[in-house]
Amino acid sequence: MDFGPYLFLASLEGAVTAAVLALTAVGLSLVFGVMRVVNVAHGEFFMLGAVVAWWVASYAGGHPAIGFALALLIAPIVTGAVAAVADFLVLKRLDYDPERTIVATIGLLYIIQQTVLMTYGPEARPVEAPFNVRIYFPWFGYSTYKFFVIGAAVAILLGVWLLMTRTRFGLVMRATQLDRETALAFAIPVDRVYALVFGLGAALAALAAVLIVPIQQAHYLMGGDPLLLSFIVVIIGGLGSLAGTIVAAVLVGMSDGIISVFFSPTLAKIIATLLVALVLVFRPQGLFGKRAL
Amino acid sequence: MLKLRDIQAGYGEATVLHGISLEVAAGEILCLLGRNGAGKTTTMKAIMGLIPVTAGAVLLDGENLAQIAAHEIPKRAIGYIPQGRRLFAELTVAENLEIGLMVRGHGSATREKVLDMFPRLRERLRQRAGTLSGGEQQMLATARALCIEPRVLLLDEPTEGLQPSMIALIRDVIVYLREQGVAILLVEQRVDAVLSIADRVAFIENGRNRDTVDAAALRADHSLVARYLGV
Ligand SMILES: Nc1ncnc2c1ncn2[C@@H]1O[C@H](COP(=O)(O)OP(=O)(O)O)[C@@H](O)[C@H]1O
Ligand SMILES: [Mg+2]
């Protein structure tokens, strides 16, 4: 294959990575932005989404599209509920103290991981794509499902944006983020908002996982990479800035895809991590963040 | 209407209020005076449930607010204008008002009424609150609290850092609300700013009550003020 088509293929792969990463990272960014909680267990919510998707799909039977559609609905709800309960049982009791919540979410990470290992097992299991049509370019064939992943991610992110800017719940979340105490003085039930935000963040990671699991398979250790990349994206984008997070996800995802295709996935991770180090040194508020944090 | 009975409150381990008692009736302005650090802001936070009340009671028409969740307290029609305004700076003027309206489910009628009191805000509805001038920010903080249609209003140093014309406007609003029967608890540092509108003045010092006197008595004899504030 010539360089041109090869780059085209690499960009497509990069776009898929970017789409899934944007969803995952926006979940992490939302939780940090509103609650000031650094959620180390975020990757496990991603993994939980994939595992629940496998369960749902394997029980659904019939056409793969039925199982997939059900998974798209059930996995984020289950994962979000687990997260909301964890918020209520653990984070709330720590009064959302920044340091102690980091330790607590590390604990949560292992609890979720080991629970999945004991119940779901160590195997990697695939979920069948809802459709499997290939589209043929002059140089190579490509799965239309991957285009669906990109489209679905864009649609979900648009939904998140509408939720934040056009709804009362979005207004309440933004007010809580800006000034928790004053929000309380205006009858905003901050505890409930926090539980919902934590659930919503986890649900976004789960959605991303459902989208990727027909391509990547569900495995109990699959949460590591999404966690690392989400952190990279959130730091580059500016902590708590949703728009910055999305731009950074596209940047990191595309370059990850392209570098992985041309060189190696490891080099891609090395470069992304190096980029974070540079951002932290020269622009600690992130590329799009505000200075005062 | 609002009655504090011997309340204790503080931050973490540190107790700041060691038994504060106050009473504000409907249609009355009670002014809380005291030096910096006396516990005026802390008293307001305790009423709003933003810090735990460890002893005593905050009674609103007989109900003890100290025993209900903080986010339920404003729904009892208590409006709070915090020190330093505490606007949601990244939200627009309209969104800040919406937060106030949502407290008790008021709609456009209330919103229009409040905007009629502060026409400048009407011209800036889509502007971010953080970009308003100091006086406009105070208008917005007041308007946001009035969107609750409060029966009790807590104002913490509302004229801090404002120009005289703006101070006059805020005072007019406070006097108007008193006529409407609102119970008003007003905190100020500067005596001259409140003496002309207060009905009674409660002096506090180091988290404890000192005397509560009729404002008329203070107006008649300025030396009393010097004695109570120790200046
Ligand atoms: N967030 C806080 N944490 C700990 N102590 C505080 C806090 N806020 C105020 N204080 C202390 O409580 C006391 C009363 O403060 P405050 O109520 O703000 O006084 P005032 O409003 O009368 O100037 C002061 O000694 C102050 O240092
Ligand atoms: Mg004060």
Sign of CA dihedral A234, A237, A242, A247: negative
Please indicate whether residue B206, judged by its CB atom, sits closer than 6 Å to ligand 1: no
Report the range of poorest mean pLDDT among A79-93, A178-192, A272-286, B57-71: A272-286
**Inter-chain touch B86–A184, beta carbons under 8 Å:** no
As a whole number of angstroms, the distance between CA B37 and CA B14 comes to 13
pLDDT of residue B226: 75
Ligand 1 centroid vs B207 CA: distance in angstroms? 10
- Quick one: which of A264, A41, A40, A267 has its CA closest to A275? A267
Whether the Cβ atoms of residue B91 and residue B101 lie closer than 8 Å to each other: no
Assign B205 to helix, strand or coil.
strand
| Whether pLDDT at B189 is above 90 | no
CA B74 to chain centre: 13
A171 touches chain B (CB under 8 A): yes
Tell me if A186 and B102 make a contact (CB, 8 A cut-off).
Answer: yes
pLDDT tops 60 at residue A91: yes
Decide if pLDDT at B104 tops 50.
yes
User: What confidence tens digit (pLDDT) does each residue in A17-32 have?
Assistant: 999 999 999 999 999 9
pLDDT at B224: 74
Checking if the pLDDT of B56 tops 70, the result is yes
Rounded to an integer, the average pLDDT of B182-194 is 87
Instruction: Give pTM, 2 decimals.
Output: 0.93
pLDDT at A292: 43
State yes or no: pLDDT of B230 exceeds 70. no
Q: Is B36 in the pocket of ligand 1 (CB under 6 A)?
A: yes
Asked if the C-beta of A1 comes within 8 angstroms of chain B's C-beta atoms, the answer is no
- Place B210 in a pLDDT band, splitting at 50, 70 and 90: confident
Separation CA A63–CA A67 (nearest Å)? 7
Please say if the pLDDT value at position A184 is more than 80: yes
Would you list the DSSP string of B99-126? HHHHHTT--HHHHHHHHHH-HHHHTTTT
The predicted-structure confidence for A142-160, as pLDDT tens digits, reads as follows 889 999 999 999 999 999 9
Residue B203 vs residues A142, A183, A210, B164, B186: alpha-carbon distances, Å = 78, 29, 63, 25, 12
Task: Indicate which of A182, A188, A193, A242 best probes the interface with B, i.e. most B CBs within 10 Å of its own CB.
Answer: A182
Task: Write out the two tokens for A75.
Answer: 């996995």
- Distance (Å, whole) CA A196 – CA A163: 13
Q: Is B74 on the interface with A (CB under 8 A)?
A: yes
- Which atom from ligand 1 is nearest to the alpha carbon of B40? 22
pLDDT band at A137, cuts 50/70/90? confident
Which of the two residues, A287 and B149, has the higher pLDDT score? B149
The 10s digit of each residue's pLDDT in B4-39 is 999 999 998 899 999 999 999 999 999 999 889 999
pLDDT reported for residue A104: 97
Cα B14 to Cα A282: distance, rounded to the nearest angstrom:
40
pLDDT score for A290: 64
Tens digits of residue pLDDT in B126-172: 999 999 999 999 999 999 999 999 999 999 999 988 898 899 999 99
| pLDDT confidence bin for A1, thresholds 50/70/90 | low
Ligand 1 neighbour B130 (Cβ under 6 A): no
Q: Average pLDDT for residues B58-64, to the nearest whole number?
A: 96
Mutate: best of B71, B85, B95, B153, partner A, most A CBs <10 A: B71
- CA dist B202 to A112, B1, B54, B55, B57, Å? 56, 16, 22, 20, 18
More confident residue, A267 or A101: A101
Domain ranges of chain A: 20-223
User: Domains, chain B, ranges and CATH?
Assistant: 26-40+69-229 (3.40.50.300)
Sign of CA dihedral B168, B174, B177, B179: negative
CA B27 to centroid of ligand 2, rounded, Å:
24
For residues A146 and B209, what is the distance between their CA atoms, to the nearest angstrom?
70
Q: Taking the CA atoms of chain B, what radius of gyration do you get in angstroms?
A: 17
Report whether residue B9 contacts ligand 1, using a CB cutoff of 6 Å.
no
Confidence of residue A187 (pLDDT cuts 50, 70, 90): very high
Buried b vs exposed e over B57-95: b needs ≥16 C-beta within 10 Å? bbbbeeeebbeeebbebbebbbbbbbbebbbbeebbbbb
Please state whether A85 falls in left (phi above 0), alpha (psi between -120 and 50) or beta.
Answer: alpha
Is B60's pLDDT higher than 80? Answer: yes
Residues in Cβ contact with A181 at an 8 Å cutoff, skipping those fewer than 6 apart: B50, B86
- The H or E element spanning position A247 is helix A242-262
- Report the pLDDT value the prediction gives residue A293, as an integer from 0 to 100: 40
* pLDDT at residue A106 tops 60: yes
